[in-house]
Amino acid sequence: MKIRPIFISIVIIAFLGLNSCVTLEQNPVSGNKRAFGYTWEQEVQIGKDADSEIIAQYGLYENEELTNYVSDLGQSLLEVSHLRREDTPQKFRETEFTFRVLDSPVVNAFALPGGYIYVTRGLLAHLNNEAQLAVVLGHEIAHVAARHASQRAATQQFGQLAVIGGAIIGESLGYDGGSILQLSGQTAQLLFLKYGRDAERESDALGVEYSAMKNYQAAEGADFFTSLKRISETQGGGIPTLLSSHPDPGEREETIPQLAQEWAERGYEQTILDKEEFMGMIENIMFGDNPRQGFARDGIFYHPDLEFLFPVPSGFDLYNQPSAVIMVNEDQTAISQFTLDSENESPRTSVQTFLAQEGITVESQTEYAEAGMNGYRGVATAATQDGSELKLQLTAIEYGGYIYRFLSYTSAAGYENYEARFNSIPSGFQELQDESILNIEPVRLELITVSESGIFSEFLPNELPMNIEPIDVAIINQVELDQTIERGTVLKMPVQ
């Protein structure tokens, strides 16, 4: 959880339509006219509007040299894309592109309409050379060039999505549900957007094309898709959100080298790997979640930067999002979310403002004082869109110059079963005093050069930090645990 304010109503209706209407325009890749959901000018504006939300929500990774490196590579690939070719209409050729590195551990890359491309630090940590990054960036440029989002908008009907008070709507879809609550309906739709198989395959082909035209070893992209498959296997089958799930990473392992060979046969020498420069750029990159922004251990959530802790109820899973900490039981029928309230000046006004919303019936309000904390609590019921009734408990606490809120709720019928666990969270909120946790630092990737050949697992430290497993380290290095590593090989090792 970062220090980003959020104000969540008990029932939020996010309209995921972009109010599009079908328009007949040119596809820069094919050169043909076809139906799109928006004009090119609208796509550019959509991307611009959503970009500011993405930055505000996820944050930019604070490494100017790395950001410039990614941007320069992206701009180089853009030069050979269909958006910069002589026979392409001027409005496409003059559209500016922006490349950003997001401060997220998730292995992901995505594009917004109109020329906004994002890669996460989590993705960069899993790449091994510049050629692999070129294929990924080329793929995302292709989504913009082929206007895939606009194509999808012309054919897909987006209705209402009922989001009940911050439930983990995105987890089952591979998205950050808590974060989506902070975004407008338009931006949320773009993050939920799933391209079809044909669009993904087209972007794969174009990503290889653009990389090959810049003389990168485009077949290297296959190794990264192998990593995606391995991540999927270690996470119990959940395919990372990167580049959608169609087609699956296994198929891409086979097709990308074939596509690269086709461009080699056309005379494009693919000689550039640039492993050394890439590794130098990601040396010391943050790996995994940043514990300074909060982490859970042994049933307790700690936040070193804000110097507090609170318990996680038994039987609840915790999701630490950029703007909220969300705890939910296994069947997602009982939810508690912890947020920062920057809209109100006291715990009393924080609770009363929330309870004053339409559709909420207040049962009780009272001053709150437990564990040396002063606050205010309210209990109420609220009707959902489907006519059922929720019962909620809202506790606001003042601590360290901030107003924090615990909003817990379940069905009215089930509230009694969870009331004690709901109560335990704010009552356990207290100052963090453990120096070892207060001083904890993020895990970063250190580069080591193998001095003697040996099995990869032999190079691992005796203890890995922050619940990192040996297989995770093997995956980021794109090797197997029992693979022989030759002398002189540069490896990425997590250190804390």
Check whether 318 has a pLDDT greater than 80.
yes
What's residue 191's pLDDT?
A: 58
**CA separation for the pair 57, 303 (Å, rounded):** 19
What's residue 166's pLDDT?
A: 30
Check whether 18 has a pLDDT greater than 90.
no
C-alpha to C-alpha distances, 439 to 105, 298, 433, nearest whole angstrom: 21, 18, 10
Percent of the chain residues past pLDDT 90, beyond the cut: 70
Check whether 3 has a pLDDT greater than 80.
no
> Which has the higher per-residue pLDDT, 224 or 163?
224
Query: Residue 135 — pLDDT band, cuts 50, 70, 90?
Result: very high
What's residue 20's pLDDT?
A: 53
**CA separation for the pair 60, 207 (Å, rounded):** 24
Q: What is the mean pLDDT of the chain?
A: 86
What's residue 173's pLDDT?
A: 29
Check whether 237 has a pLDDT greater than 90.
no
The tens digit of pLDDT for each residue in 165-207 reads 332 223 322 334 334 444 555 555 555 556 778 888 999 999 9
Distance spanning both ends of the chain, measured CA to CA: 20
Angle at CA of residue 206, ends 200 and 207, nearest 5°: 85
Q: Which helix (H) or strand (E) holds 415?
A: helix 415-427
199 SS3 class: helix
The tens digit of pLDDT for each residue in 247-272 reads 566 688 889 999 999 999 999 999 99
250 SS3 class: helix
Q: Is the pTM of this model over 0.75?
A: yes
What value does the mean pLDDT take over residues 220-238?
Answer: 80
What's residue 2's pLDDT?
A: 72
The tens digit of pLDDT for each residue in 66-76 reads 999 999 999 99
What value does the mean pLDDT take over residues 411-437?
Answer: 96
What's residue 189's pLDDT?
A: 58
User: Where along the chain do its domains lie?
Assistant: 12-282, 291-438, 444-495
The CATH number of 291-438 is 3.40.1000.10
Across 95-99, 108-112, 378-382, least confident range: 108-112
> Which among 440, 437, 443 is positioned nearest to 121, based on CA atoms?
443
The tens digit of pLDDT for each residue in 437-495 reads 999 999 999 999 999 999 999 999 999 998 899 999 999 999 999 999 999 999 999 99
What's residue 372's pLDDT?
A: 87
Check whether 360 has a pLDDT greater than 80.
yes
Q: Which residue has the tokens 């969870």?
A: 418
Query: Residue 162 — pLDDT band, cuts 50, 70, 90?
Result: very low
Check whether 332 has a pLDDT greater than 60.
yes
Cα Rg for the chain, rounded, in angstroms? Answer: 24
Maximum separation of any 2 CA atoms in the chain, in Å: 76
Burial of 71 (0-12, 13-18, 19+ CB in 10 A): middle
**CA separation for the pair 486, 470 (Å, rounded):** 19
Check whether 411 has a pLDDT greater than 70.
yes
Other CB atoms within 10 A of residue 471 CB: 14
8 in Cβ contact with 166 (< 8 Å): yes
What's residue 13's pLDDT?
A: 31
What value does the mean pLDDT take over residues 277-305?
Answer: 96
What's residue 317's pLDDT?
A: 92
What's residue 247's pLDDT?
A: 59
What value does the mean pLDDT take over residues 134-150?
Answer: 95
What's residue 152's pLDDT?
A: 82
Order of all β-strands in the sheet with 430-431: 295-297, 300-303, 308-311, 430-431
Q: Which residue has the tokens 């998205």?
A: 175
What's residue 16's pLDDT?
A: 36
Check whether 14 has a pLDDT greater than 50.
no
What value does the mean pLDDT take over residues 327-354?
Answer: 93
Out of 3-12, 54-63, 237-246, 336-345, the most confident range is: 336-345
**CA separation for the pair 376, 423 (Å, rounded):** 13
142 in Cβ contact with 77 (< 8 Å): no
